[in-house]
Amino acid sequence: MVAIAGSMSTNKKVYICFITALAMILAASPARAANSPGTESSSQKVSQKTLVVRADPRTGKLVRSVAPGKTSPAAKALPSIDISEMVEKAAHDNNVDPLLVHSIIQVESNYNPYAVSPKGAQGLMQLMPPTARDLGVRNSFDPRQNIEAGVRYLKYLQDMYQDDRLALAAYNAGPGAVEKYKWIPPYPETQDYVNRVGQQYGAAKKAAAQHLAEPAAPPVGVMEGTHPKLEPFVDAEGRLHLRTTQQ
C-alpha cells in the first residue's frame, strides 16, 4: 500500500507539472485583441482584459481568469478587415450610416472585442449584459453578435428620437435618462460622450467626402489624349512665345 500511495503521489505531481506547463504555453500565446484601447466607454473608462490560464496547485485543474492588460495611450487601434465587413453589413441591414457605427466603436472600445468596462459593459460597442440578453446576444465577446445587436439597438434609438444626438445620449445613459430630461442628460460623461462621437463622426464624413472628391486617375493608354496642345504666338513686342490650349 505504501508503494502504491507513493506512486499515486508521484503521478499526481507529474500531472500537475504537465498542466502547469500547458497553462504557461496557453498564456504565452498571442491574444486576439485590438491595439491598446486607452479610451473611455459610454459611461466609464474601458480597460483591456487578458485571459489568463493557470493550474490550481491543489487540484491540478485549469482555471481561467481575466486580468487587466497593458495599455498604450499613444497607440491607435485600427479595425480589421473582418470588423469593417461586419460593420458594413450590420449598418446596411439596419439602414444606419456605417461611419456613425465606426465612430461609436472607436469611442466605446477602440476596436477591442474583449474590452470590459468597470461597470460590466462588454465588447466592441460596450453592451451591458441585460441589454445584450434582451437583444438575443449569447456571447458579447463575439464581434459579429455584438456589432449586429449594437447596431440594431442604435437604430431603435434613432427611430425613437429622430435625432442622432439624443440617440447617442440614450445609448450612453439609457432611454430613461433622455425621457427624464427631454434632452441630452446633464451628466458630464454623457455630454462628453455625445461630443466625442459627434466629432469622430464629423471627421469621418469629412474624410469620406474628400476621398470621393479626389479626381480619378485616367486609365492607362489614355494619358496621351489628355495632354494640352502647344500653340505659338507673337506678343506686341514681336517676341515668340508658346502657350497651351485644350484639344
Q: Which among 108, 148, 179, 231 is annotated as catalytic?
A: 108
Residue whose entry in the numeric block shows the C-alpha cell 486607452: 38
Query: Are 113 and 33 spatial neighbours (Cβ–Cβ below 8 Å)?
Result: yes
Q: What is the DSSP letter of 138?
A: S
- Identify whether the C-beta of residue 147 lies closer than 8 Å to the C-beta of residue 86: yes
Half-sphere exposure of 153 (CA within 13 A, CB side): 26
Is 108 noted as a catalytic residue in this protein? yes
Taking the C-alpha atoms of residue 61 and residue 46, their distance in angstroms, rounded to an integer, is 31
Grid coordinates given for 18: 504537465
Residues contacting residue 157 through CB under 8 Å, at least 6 positions apart: 166, 167, 170, 171, 175
Q: Which residues are catalytic?
A: 108
